[in-house]
Amino acid sequence: MCGIVGYVGERSAQDVVIEGLRRLEYRGYDSAGIALVGAHGLASDKRAGKLANLEKAIADHPLPAATTGIGHTRWATHGAPNDVNAHPHLGAARRVAVVHNGIIENFAELRARLEDDDHVLVSETDTEIAAHLLELQVQSGVDLTTAMQRVCSQLEGAFTLVAVDADDPERVVAARRNSPLVVGIGEGESFLGSDVAAFIEHTREALELGQDQVVTLTRAGVEVSTFDGRPAEGRRYHVDWDLSAAEKDGHDWFMRKEIFEQPRAVADSLLGRRSASGRLQLDEMRLSDQELRDVTKIIIIACGTSFYAGMVAKYAIEHWCRIPVEVELASEFRYRDPILDYSTLVVAISQSGETADTLQAIRHARVQRSKVLAICNTNGSTIPRESDAVIYTHAGPEIGVASTKGFLTQLVACYLLALYLAQVKGTRYGDEIDQVLGQLEAVPGQIEAVLEQAPAIYELARTHRDSGSVLFLGRHAGYPVALEGALKLKELAYLHAEGFAAGELKHGPIALVDQGLPVLCVVPPQGRDQLHDKMLSGIQEVRARGARTICLAEEGDERITPYADELIRLPRVPVLLQPLVAVVPLQLFACELATALGHDVDQPRNLAKSVTVE
């Protein structure tokens, strides 16, 4: 959530900041603002609503030209989403402007102290207190960098702060603690962003900050220090994707583009996973084979879509490795006093690597001596850095708030983890692991085959514009797919949608079935125990009560035909791998239905891409 941009250089700071904010719109926000500083002093404007509202305001009332500036798109935490609570926030003398991501947990105490000293705070936010505290410091005679170090030492919580000083127009200063921030390094100019999309148009040279660090940007370059003033160094790296990766490529929505990028994303996530001898290798695995052999229990922690990837991982790990697996919502994990020790492996799944609930959960696990492995898409983000091992998904940037290729590449990473554990523990022979890797490597082509059915799926989705409720059914690895399909419809179409394990129908949910109710059914492949027969029974039960069944079934399955009002064919894959192909039609269905209803598919209401507060 909350997009942050900062700039110092020769260009128009307003143009750089506004364009950067536009490239961060995918993060979800409810207001936008900008502050510029130059010979004129400090000028600022901010507006509730979309970035277009801010652009119109500064077109009607232009801000003075400047080459230093900061900007922000806010997702409300403290205070309603209105003009007053929007960022930037200014100090009492309007000398310092601040933008902020995260939550300052001791803000009430600090606010009371400021108000006791006769400071008048005009917003409901925790951010405004940082502006007042910074301004007090620079008024005492220290520079903005020292002021930021001193103020951050007083703050509790997770935050990114970025500030400018009207009396120091050649400097932008920022700080981070448990909140995303990246620096862009150019020739005679420097950039800041919540992620590299904010400045990728101008430079691919980036600097990753560590925890509790302050960075000072000038035209000459950047300097990093700790909160206690000691010199520090960030990690330089080159961004290996370009601006075109963040463009829609002819599609109406980023999400639709990303759905069609999934064959390439899955292929990329499998690259380099075999050694010269053919064995599975995970280059980012920093846990030794012996440490993995000592694992007797696995707990997977995640939120939202990532949680459903974790549910699929449970089926794969338990089947291939014979290790008991629990799947937990990260937001609940540490509050139930989980049983953890050195033999427990905690697997944290997070697309952004900054998910606050998941981050706090892994910290709790490490205190209990458990090993932590992260599955993540964002190189250098907090969760991988605080984990003992990481599997990067290599999905590339995902702009749409509702995850698509992020989910599929998380599934691939989960399968790779399961196979790697089986290889280390010896629970599967080498030729068995090689067979599954071969099946995974065939999946990109199979996803392509599903995507060829997109026109028919779109037409089907449009026929359900008047549906008020939709149910999803699945069994085994198809159950998490049903849950994910329902979540996509909730996120995008704002419809009541629920996913169920098909065997649970008779235990209550069948009461929801009424005449004409759409029920999407993920039919297991034929021949796996009695899963297929049991699923057919469930489909017949809902159909007998008037439901309209939309069935996703593998090619060659003719037994399903009499019970499907609509039939979407899936490539033939093993039951454990079916989620990789079965979820794609549900993504297409939700995207098109939301489009038909006139909703903003890329930025659904009330949602943010990365949830960085608890």
User: What is the full DSSP assignment across 93-149?
Assistant: TS-EEEEEEEEETTHHHHHHHHHHTT----SS-SHHHHHHHHHHHHHTT--HHHHHH
144 and 282 part of one domain: no
**The overall pTM is greater than 0.75:** no
Q: What is the pLDDT of residue 1?
A: 54
Task: Give the residue with greater pLDDT, 169 vs 380.
Answer: 169
Q: What is the pLDDT of residue 183?
A: 96
490 and 432 part of one domain: no
504 and 552 part of one domain: yes
Give me the residue label for tokens 């990789």. Answer: 580
Q: DSSP per residue over 490-529, as a string?
A: HHHH--EEEEEEGGGGGGTGGGG--TT-EEEEEPPPTTST
Q: How far apart are CA 125 and CA 117, in angstroms?
A: 18
Give me the residue label for tokens 């963040």. Answer: 246
Flag whether 613 is in a domain: no
With beta carbons less than 8 A apart as the criterion, state whether 51 and 229 touch. Answer: no
With beta carbons less than 8 A apart as the criterion, state whether 314 and 327 touch. Answer: yes
Task: Inform me whether the pLDDT recorded for 244 exceeds 70.
Answer: no
Task: Give the residue with greater pLDDT, 226 vs 234.
Answer: 226
Flag whether 74 is in a domain: yes
Flag whether 609 is in a domain: no
Q: Inter-axis angle of helices 262-270 and 430-451, to 10 degrees?
A: 160
Task: Inform me whether the pLDDT recorded for 338 exceeds 80.
Answer: yes
Residues in contact with 248: Cβ distance below 8 Å, sequence separation at least 6, in sequence order: 254, 257
Q: What is the pLDDT of residue 308?
A: 97
Q: What is the pLDDT of residue 371?
A: 94
Q: What's the number of domains the chain is made of?
A: 3
Task: Inform me whether the pLDDT recorded for 517 exceeds 60.
Answer: yes
As a dihedral over the C-alpha atoms of residue 500, residue 505, residue 507, residue 513, rounded to 10 degrees, the angle is 100
Residues in contact with 145: Cβ distance below 8 Å, sequence separation at least 6, in sequence order: 171, 173, 214, 216, 223, 225
Report, as an integer, the average pLDDT of 204-230.
94
Please report, for the domain that includes residue 132, its CATH number.
3.60.20.10
234 and 273 part of one domain: no
436 and 525 part of one domain: no
193 membership: H or E segment, kind and range: strand 190-193
Task: Inform me whether the pLDDT recorded for 491 exceeds 70.
Answer: yes
Q: How far apart are CA 174 and CA 192, in angstroms?
A: 8
Give me the residue label for tokens 């400090």. Answer: 42
Q: How far apart are CA 185 and CA 598, in angstroms?
A: 40
Contacts by 553-560 with C-beta closer than 8 Å and gap 24+? 553/523, 554/523, 554/525, 554/526, 554/578, 556/526, 557/523, 557/525, 557/526, 557/532, 559/526, 559/532, 560/523, 560/536
Q: CA angle 604-605-611, nearest 5°?
A: 80
441 and 464 part of one domain: no
Residues in contact with 140: Cβ distance below 8 Å, sequence separation at least 6, in sequence order: none
220 and 276 part of one domain: no
72 and 27 part of one domain: yes
Q: How far apart are CA 478 and CA 456, in angstroms?
A: 22
Task: Inform me whether the pLDDT recorded for 155 exceeds 90.
Answer: yes
Q: What is the pLDDT of residue 529?
A: 65
Residues in contact with 122: Cβ distance below 8 Å, sequence separation at least 6, in sequence order: 84, 128
Contacts by 548-552 with C-beta closer than 8 Å and gap 24+? 548/516, 548/517, 548/518, 548/519, 549/519, 549/521, 550/460, 550/518, 550/519, 550/520, 550/521, 551/520, 551/521, 551/523, 552/520, 552/521, 552/522, 552/523, 552/582, 552/585, 552/586
Range of the domain at 43: 3-246
Name the pLDDT band for 445 (thresholds 50, 70, 90): very high
N- to C-terminal Cα separation, the chain = 12
Task: Inform me whether the pLDDT recorded for 28 exceeds 80.
Answer: no
Q: What is the pLDDT of residue 446?
A: 97
Please report, for the domain that includes residue 357, its CATH number.
3.40.50.10490
Q: Which of 206-215, 391-400, 579-588 has the least mean pLDDT?
A: 391-400
Task: Inform me whether the pLDDT recorded for 612 exceeds 60.
Answer: no
Give me the residue label for tokens 């098909």. Answer: 502
Q: Which of 77-81, 492-496, 512-516, 538-542 has the least mean pLDDT?
A: 77-81
Highest averaged pLDDT of the listed ranges 87-91, 244-248, 397-401: 87-91
Sign of CA dihedral 329, 334, 340, 345: positive
Flag whether 614 is in a domain: no
With beta carbons less than 8 A apart as the criterion, state whether 539 and 498 touch. Answer: no
Flag whether 612 is in a domain: no
| Per-residue pLDDT tens over the stretch 113-122 | 999 999 999 9
| Per-residue pLDDT tens over the stretch 38-62 | 888 999 999 999 999 999 999 999 9
Domain boundary among 422, 446, 470: 446
Task: Inform me whether the pLDDT recorded for 256 exceeds 70.
Answer: yes
Domain boundary among 246, 264, 295: 246
> Which pair of structure tokens corresponds to residue 440?
């995974």
Q: What is the pLDDT of residue 92?
A: 94
Q: How far apart are CA 614 and CA 610, in angstroms?
A: 11
Catalytic residues: 2, 609
> Which pair of structure tokens corresponds to residue 479?
């159950």
241 and 271 part of one domain: no
Report, as an integer, the average pLDDT of 25-36.
86
Q: How far apart are CA 160 and CA 549, in angstroms?
A: 48
Give me the residue label for tokens 């969760």. Answer: 383
Q: How far apart are CA 523 and CA 479, in angstroms?
A: 10
109 and 226 part of one domain: yes
Residue 45, class by beta-carbon neighbours within 10 Å (0-12 exposed, 13-18 middle, 19+ buried)? buried
Name the pLDDT band for 439 (thresholds 50, 70, 90): very high
Q: How far apart are CA 440 and CA 423, in angstroms?
A: 16
Buried b (16+ CB within 10 A) or exposed e, 330-355: bbebbeeebebeeebbbbbbbbbbbb
DSSP letter at 301 equals E
Flag whether 332 is in a domain: yes
Counting residues of the chain whose pLDDT is more than 90, the rounded percentage is 68
Q: What is the pLDDT of residue 611?
A: 63
- Residue 609 dihedral angles phi and psi, to the nearest 5°: -70, -45
Domain boundary among 246, 271, 304: 246
With beta carbons less than 8 A apart as the criterion, state whether 499 and 472 touch. Answer: yes
45 and 150 part of one domain: yes
| Per-residue pLDDT tens over the stretch 368-411 | 899 999 999 877 678 888 999 999 888 877 888 899 999 999 99
Flag whether 584 is in a domain: yes
Q: CA separation (Å) from 517 to 31, 467, 493, 543?
A: 38, 8, 16, 9
Q: What is the mean pLDDT of the chain?
A: 91
Task: Inform me whether the pLDDT recorded for 614 exceeds 60.
Answer: no
Flag whether 352 is in a domain: yes
101 and 141 part of one domain: yes
